Chains A and B, each alone.
Chain A
């Protein structure tokens, strides 16, 4: 938030008009968000889920999540295993915690990637225009015209098994996690880049950019200091909604057998692995399923709230 406030004050150097505007804007935005009851509700649930996977990660080690004992398979929830055990006797509570970390990690990093690509494309295309714009936008359209799920599947198949297991921050990540993050990120940036391009196109002609150009600021400087901060609203909305979509995408790819591969748990592949036991071991799908639904739902609530809050037209 600090960068945003700082960057928002940039026009002040030139215009020297209302220095108080950014702050009161923020205040008003926050108020609008807080009045959105469902957004507040969503944020609360989301916070609980984040606490669940982080504090849970302190209580249970990753070893607990992968520790198996086939003789204790498919045990219903009990004091020892509050969420029951899975097909090879792993503790589902520990797996939902570590699976949640991976699912959320996939959601956040995939979206970060998609935002990076989308923003870069959008800004470059919009700011420079001409042939660069035409090329980038044709490419964007090409990507847009293929149904995302089909493209995801083709790419998931292409990359499957090609990325080796990685060690990061003392944790082992199956190569498939990186594949899934990559392909979700690379198939979800197009909408955002079009949106940003449109914004940049109108900004390009705005007074403060013209002014900045007049005082000899470089393109890079103008983009970084003036254009980027002013396109932040659509990016924030796209980010929130994108995380939810990415978590769902991961579940769909898992369903089709191309997702993150066990033993690395994700909510999606836990759900997929439970499908033969819908009837006889409902705890297998109930907990990961519930967590996916809650997470996606609350993120969408938050996204809805952020959209309303950032939209100057909505005043209730």
Chain B
């Protein structure tokens, strides 16, 4: 087992290497962080050239990648942008825990990400809870009442909602529950943000602002989850061993939850486990619409201004989280099902 874990971890190293190299090349050769610097007018050419030089953007891409990876404190750099190298670099590189500095905020990339992590988790965790609870309810219900009118209704509805582009759903929800409800004089929800800056951050405020974005994410994902739960439940319910349990005279409820659900939960754990790292990534589209100050919105902001350090750091963290989650699932599997061996 340990051998397996170590082997997987060792395999992850070249994998991270490949991912980082590909994304670095894509990032460095798409936009230019100095093209507009967020301004309405492009900066003066003189300033642009000076900043390019001082930020090291004039170096060949492979060299920039090496700096990103191992740092540049072993080499003289031109920190003032006057064309003359004047001091040693200060970057220590990813392998020494330095993910670089954001060109936009001029903060360490890790700090930029750290500032957003909590906000994103509030949103994605809430959404995930709603998804799991909702999907379990719908999935089990439709499995037990297979081909009933409710099964068809739930299935159809979940397919319809699953097919709505999430941004359309979000905007329509805003217009109904914030704008129209207010016009109709009903208690209405806020349009965007995480809490009202004047009211201050409180549980009530955050909860109020959470309703629309978390439901938007949940609606879209419940469909997939509940279909999955329905089919695994059906498989278990129709299995010989549940039939035996029923035949032994166990009550319907008990059969269902103690036996069927327990058996159907293994693949569910896999599904949740695979989704966990993505909770960190946040919901790009939903966060952007609802101006939720999370990771997804940050990714878009920094991608749009070609902020390689932050985009790279975020993608690396998520990739690592995915690898870890997969490993964890493999390990949990051997626990739950002793027949599985990896060595």
Chain B proximity of A253: nearest CB distance (Å): 10
**A144 CA to B26 CA in the complex, in Å?**
17
Q: A157 and B303: CB pair below 8 A?
A: yes
- List residues of A (205-222) whose CB comes within 8 Å of B's CBs: none
Chain B proximity of A287: nearest CB distance (Å): 12
Contacts of B319 in A (CB 8 A): 142, 145-146
Chain B proximity of A306: nearest CB distance (Å): 14
- List residues of B (162-219) whose CB comes within 8 Å of A's CBs: 162-168, 171-172, 175, 179
Q: B285 and A147: CB pair below 8 A?
A: no
Q: How would residues 304 to 343 of chain B score, 1 for a CB under 8 Å from any chain A CB and 0 otherwise?
A: 0000000100110011001100000000000000000000
How many A-B residue pairs have C-beta atoms within 8 angstroms? Tell me. 107
**Among the listed stretches B12-20, B63-71, B81-89, B135-143, which one makes contact with chain A, having 4 or more residues with CB under 8 Å of it?**
B12-20
Q: A275 and B163: CB pair below 8 A?
A: no
A252-B167, A255-B165, A289-B165 as given contacts; A297 in contact with B160, CB under 8 Å: yes
Partner of B172, one of A252, A278, A296: A278
Q: How would residues 124 to 167 of chain A score, 1 for a CB under 8 Å from any chain B CB and 0 otherwise?
A: 00000000000000110110111101100111011010000000
Chain A proximity of B264: nearest CB distance (Å): 16
Q: B26 and A145: CB pair below 8 A?
A: no
Chain B proximity of A52: nearest CB distance (Å): 17
Query: Does A238 touch B at the CB level, under 8 Å?
Result: no
For A275, the closest partner residue in chain B by CB is: B171
Q: B31 and A145: CB pair below 8 A?
A: no
A138-B15, A139-B18, A147-B278 as given contacts; A157 in contact with B160, CB under 8 Å: no
Query: Does A75 touch B at the CB level, under 8 Å?
Result: no
Query: Does A292 touch B at the CB level, under 8 Å?
Result: yes
Chain B proximity of A166: nearest CB distance (Å): 21
Contacts of A271 in B (CB 8 A): 165, 168
**A241 CA to B184 CA in the complex, in Å?**
41
A144-B322, A145-B19, A147-B281 as given contacts; A297 in contact with B163, CB under 8 Å: yes
Partner of A149, one of B11, B162, B163, B284: B284
Contacts of B175 in A (CB 8 A): 278-279
- List residues of A (249-294) whose CB comes within 8 Å of B's CBs: 251-252, 255-256, 268, 271, 275, 278-279, 285, 289, 292-294
Query: Does B251 touch A at the CB level, under 8 Å?
Result: no
For the complex of A and B, the 6 pairs showing the least CB-CB separation, nearest first, are A296-B163, A145-B322, A297-B163, A158-B30, A251-B165, A157-B30
